[in-house]
Amino acid sequence: MKMIEFDIPFYRDDMLLRRCIEKWGTDSQIVVAIEEFAEVIHALCKMQRVGINDASSEAKKERLNRTLDDLQGEIADAELCIQQLKIFFGEDEIEQKRQKKIKRLRARLDFEDGKDICPYCGGKNVAWNWVSNEDKTAWWHECHECDCNSTFATHGKRGENSQGGVS
């Protein structure tokens, strides 16, 4: 089998994505992103219907593999769209917000695991306070080593099985 060679200039991903934006415009690429995210949702729903761990027969295994392949392709498309959205709306600012959410998620996991550790400095001189009112239920964290604080919402008291996630 003979390999076909293409005369395509090398592009870094961000250069290629910026070229797409210049060619088709921001509004058009936002619509494409919305469509791609919907396709990921559709593929995830199909994956749930097929059964992520159900390979009980060859036919089911084949269907599962096709569905997984489709899902992986849709996720790849969505990631390209996310990269374009970062270009539109501020890569540095989005990365700062992502890092903040990662720290908060780490704090929540540590908290749920019974670890009293500051997510920002790693300090062990941390006070946790349970705050509950009509609008929200949350844990308030206050570190006495770096003087930081943070809050995250939860649906149960410490140690209970609450819903995870980042908000």
Q: Between the CA atoms of 33, 38, 43 and 49, what dihedral angle is there, to the nearest 10 degrees?
A: 170
Strands (E) in the chain, as ranges, are 126-132, 137-143, 149-153
Q: The tokens of 162 are what?
A: 């609450």
Residue 77, pLDDT > 90, answer: yes
Residue (of 73, 68, 37, 38) closest to 50 by Cα position: 68
Q: What is the pLDDT of residues 37-71, one digit of tens each?
A: 999 999 999 999 988 777 778 888 889 999 999 99
Across 120-129, average pLDDT: 70
What is the CATH number assigned to the segment(s) 94-153?
A: 2.20.25
The per-type count for the chain, helices as H runs and strands as E runs, is 4, 3
Considering only residues 133 and 31, tell me which one the structure prediction assigns the higher pLDDT. 31
Angle at 57 between CA 52 and CA 59, to 5 degrees: 85
Across 7-23, average pLDDT: 80
Residue 7, pLDDT > 60, answer: no
What pLDDT is attached to residue 101? 85
3-state secondary structure 112-125: HCCCCCCCCCCCCC
Residue 18, pLDDT > 80, answer: yes
Residue 162, pLDDT > 60, answer: no
Helix (H, G, I), strand (E, B) or coil at 16: helix
Q: The tokens of 156 are what?
A: 């149960």
What pLDDT is attached to residue 52? 77
Farthest-apart Cα atoms in the chain, separation: 70
pTM: 0.68
Across 114-130, average pLDDT: 70
Q: What is the band of 27 on the pLDDT scale with cuts at 50, 70, 90?
A: very high
